[in-house]
Chain A
Amino acid sequence: MGCFEKLLTFSGLKRPVVSEFRTIYVNHKPLGSSRDQPLIEEKYPSNRIITSRYTILSFPVKNLLEQFTRVANFYFLIVAVLQLVIDTPVSPATSIIPLVFVLGVTAVKQAYEDFLRHRADDRVNNTPVHVISGDSMARIKAHEIRVGDVVRVHKNESFPCDLILLASSEESGECSITTANLDGETNLKTVYSVEETKRLQTVEAVCRQLRAKISCEHPTSDLYKFKGNMLLRRQRRSEKPEKVPLSAKNMLLRGAVLRNTEFVQGVAIYTGQETKMQLNSQRGRSKKSVVEKRLDRFLLCFMVFLLVESAFCTVMKWVYVSVDAGISGAWYLPSESAQPWRVVQDFLGFVVLFNYLIPISLYVTIELQKFLGSIFFEFDLEMYFEDPETGEKFRAKANTSDLNEELGQVQYLFSDKTGTLTENRMTFRMCSINGNTYCDVDGQLWLTEEGAATHQCQQLNEAELKFFTVLALCHTNGVSSVTVPDGHGGFVLQQYRVLQVLEFDSDRKCMSVILQRCTDGSYWLLTKGAETSMLEKCSHGDRDAVVKHSGDFAVEGLRVLVIACKELSPALYQQMAAQLLAANQDVANREALTVEAYRVVERDLEALGLTAIEDELQTGVRETITDLRAAGIQVWILTGDKRETAENISLSAGHFDDTMQRIRIVEQQSQAGCLAEVRRGREEISAGDGGYQQAGRRYCLVVDGQSLQFLVAENSAELKAEFLALCQLTSAVLCCRCTPLQKARVVAMVRNGVEPKPVTCAIGDGANDVSMIREAHVGVGLYGKEGRAAALNSDYAFARFQFLRKALLFHGHLYYVRLATLVQYFFYKNVAFITAELFYAFHSGFSAQSLYDTIYLTIYNMTMTSLPILLFGIFEQHVHRYRLYQEPELYITIASNRLLWWRDLLIWCALGLWHSVCCHYGVVAVLAVNDQMGINATFNYGVFEFGALVVQCVMICVTLRLVLVTYSINVPTLIGLVVTVVGFILVMSVYNIIGVNFFAFNNFLWVYFDINKQPVSWLIMLVLTAVSLTPDLLLKCLHDSRNKASMKELQVPEADM
């Protein structure tokens, strides 16, 4: 029965039985004292971390399967199989060898990546750890930890799995950790032991005394939430086990590091892949760039053309056979009849012959080009930042290389404000106490009137004293004493006991501490928070001054915090403490109960005043925004900040300017209201337009979160459309008071709503920007002070907002131009190569005789034409790099995938066709007159000599065409050319001599040497190259003259001449 159920579960027919909670026996010992009862423990995964995707055994199969899920690879597999089945005009080697090559290159790349992952995994998994097992301490490898083991971690070690803290070397049972690896926060955090176990500091104590069972929730990815409880039984006591609540405060997460504490002991609850760190490190959706989407359509188009071409040739073949005397009367040919299978084979034969229209190595070349290109992104010194404060060093980082070219296509930029545009370094600037305002002048407190400092405060009055006392005590750092003036010129130390810390959350938008004053035992609640939430909570104090001054400060771009306090009655405190305790013990409803408990005390506060903190703009923000706008990028700022602050920052960041008319849609309570406002805004713009076109550019739009809620709601298509239309009429948009979800919604609205579909980019630094970063086409994360979440979830990450300019205008632009040219070139070179086969069909009676030998069909894309274009894709700079910085308008010239329009593809293909015509018919023009053109009259250009000559012409043409479209001919480019030519000669010489017998196609013996011995071959190549490349030369000339005409004077810094 049990076996059968397991089988059902295993085969997915039956849902596995999952208990609501995870049950863990600490140190694998039963709770009950009776030893005869066997301990039934659930099985959990080992602590082995697996970020690698393959093992040595699974690699060949798994990797191959993965690669064949790509349409192009699968297509070529089918073609190869076809070639083995049908009467093929060219050897199956022409498909199989390139396919193996392409698969091989990709496999090597992926194997290397996986090797690095394996190595990293092994280092983690084999780290020695100390585990209390049985009755003693043992040293084992990290991956051997099982759930329920008691692990001892020493100072400055990182935790090998998620642990519940049992005891630490400290008497208090506390320990300090840093969680930089998890969320990037570098401050020390305190984790608390369970009260009942904190004295079990020795191995013996744990083994002898600890009998406990932990029930906790199943693993989740939320780093800050954990619910559970522990049932404890001291060995000598046999009464009912105690139930102790567990929370995130008791939890040591894998990846965090123990600081300032000699050692800790904890019980493993989540291991390996189930640790919160692993659950958080999964990557998001894979994004596909516009170039790739266009590429797929190109491929489809070529595939259709291939089929049409093949069908045409098949029809022509049988028309020739039945009508044309040249073939029908050709007694020397083995006869054929039009059996259906014969016709099908002919069709497939032509498909195989013209198959080169679909460039097999395109994807692998793109992959290599992007991968190598992204390495240069990380090399960029101008995007490298050393934080002068912390000394941290940040390289720019490309988390993916799939979207490189998308950086060159951005049309909408959504930027966070705090920490992205600003430093996120809070500097105390002003405060308001009791209706007076004060400011900070070189560390001294000055009283101000009308914004000007009047005199320095020598002595603090009572209100001021109270204000600063609260300010000094109301935080989570655990300071519990404050030195205050005693009113007689001296100072006294006031001591407080911290009873509760009511931590900040984004719903309450405030935080509080509850203190007990040591001198008189009175209870105090000190609170600070955003003014919108605090005003509701404050019932007395100078509320009007708070409202007035918070507005004044915000206008100056300062962030405002309201400071409030109240004395709690002991009864109220006891009630609240009881509520909190109850909440802590209730695993299921902990949050709700906690908030309820907070609400009881956080009301009827006395507003003491407010502080105004400045968050300075980062350097270069203004220039960056100006340049990006000049580059045709619509910049939107999405911030959680209040409107006045946000508008002000927008002004100083150059997002808004004074000449812009502001349209505000704020504080709307309904959809209808929003709609009216939006319509009013549109009317205002059309009225103020005055008939001339650029007038709309002077408007900017301010929207707040409350109104946004209606504007971006799922069910308001009409309103959304109107709103988008309004947004497109304005030149700058600012959304303030946004929640993270609203940020993502705004991005999604633009992404899906604007026609033609734009490319969006989101940049942010905090965890609240992650959803927006993931939503946008390109997500950019800044290494911020608020942690690494944004950088980890982004596609590209760097340290400063101003680097965006280089990332988009320089790297993005170049990536795009390179890739677009690469894609076009690939189609071009294959058209130039394979169309001659079609022309030759007219000469060979549509018999599918291949013009080219197997070797050329095999190596054309592999070695003959691949390296120069790959190097082009990495090193090309089509204009001088300073031009890219100085003329952001150049970015517009490549907008909307400009280089990959169908028209451009057509131009490239037309050139390919022309080159093919020249190379084929040029050779025909000479050899049709007389094919006895050797240095001695006995040499004759036969089928294979003819094809070899054409292919050499084609190769020269396509290589020189690449040289013509290259604007930066540098050492790697030249090396690429030399290697290609030398490689070609070597490969051909070897093949030529050994006459490789690929599937019995061995007609090529000595052909390569023979034709290159003939001066006629060289003259033909010379003349045909000249005539082929004439249009290319003219086009380049046209293109360059146009560019030169529009070029401004280039200013190159001396250092870079």
Chain B
Amino acid sequence: MTIMKIKFDAKKRVKLAQGLWLMSWFAVMTGVLVFGLGLFFKIELRKRSEMMDNKESHFVPNSLILMGILACLLNAFGGKICYDSLDPTKFVRWKAILKPYLVVCFLFNVMLFLTAIMCFTMRLALESTLANGLKSGMRYYKDTDTPGRCYMKKTLDLMQIEFRCCGNNNFRDWFEIQWISNRYLDFSSKDVKDRIKSNIDGKYLLDGVPFSCCNPNSPRPCIQYQITNNSAHYSYDYHTEELNIWTRGCRESLLSYYGGMMNSIGALVLLVWLFEMAVMVGLRYLHTSLGSLSNPEDPESDSEGWLLEKSIKETFSSFAEGLKSVGKLNKVEAGAEGGGGEAQTVATVS
């Protein structure tokens, strides 16, 4: 029982071939688009790689790049096949390749679908990566004289300004680390000595944040030091003050930025996947309709096209048998050599 049989006369076949040719070339362009999206995503991840710990995986953008290249190649090849299918003499050389080509297309579509799903699920992995990365980044904020970490301050400042965020979870993260380097602390000052003594680890902690946490929308000049001390500033209550510094944490900010990017990329890749499926189905119909001409001598005769010759179960079982027979062939060959040896021993015994 064939699946989804459709009758094809010569005109319909020609139209199908022409339509598929156009679609194939359009699919090549969508392949380029997927490649471009993967590249863009990879660059964006690398731009902020200092905010992520080194274990972040570039698996998703790498697979997008690979899928894009494969899509271009497969669809260009498919377009060539469609173009030649209109000419029976040229089509003969593609007949043998077409079936394995369709199997490869099917596998590619499965992989493309999985890649699209992975785009949506990468968010979880990114969350933990960002949390660790930001925490260590903030610890190295003051180390502007240590080679290898001297740009952490600039990176963090620019990131907090661009993404309008402060700290890891919120601005209080800055209260728990020493972000002012010892080089700029006057150790002869009483205030500094008191603060350092009152801390177990001897760190200089204060209730202040760097300038990059300041919110330009605030009506008053930025209060970045003694934030929790209401009496240090005139007409100031830090519980009700919302516009002074950014209240959002950078982890949340970056996550929503990358999350939005991944959602859009995932949605686009799903659309591309649907299009690729349509192209593959069209090619299958073209393949079967050209293979089942009612009058093999006359290329203009009617034919039928289908998706699968037998039902799904039967196709699977015949496919499994095909695999088994390939396995059996190897066994038979190995057995033939062993059997020949046994026959010899039997002959000698008898």
Say whether A associates with B. no
Residues of A near any B CB (own CB < 8 A): none
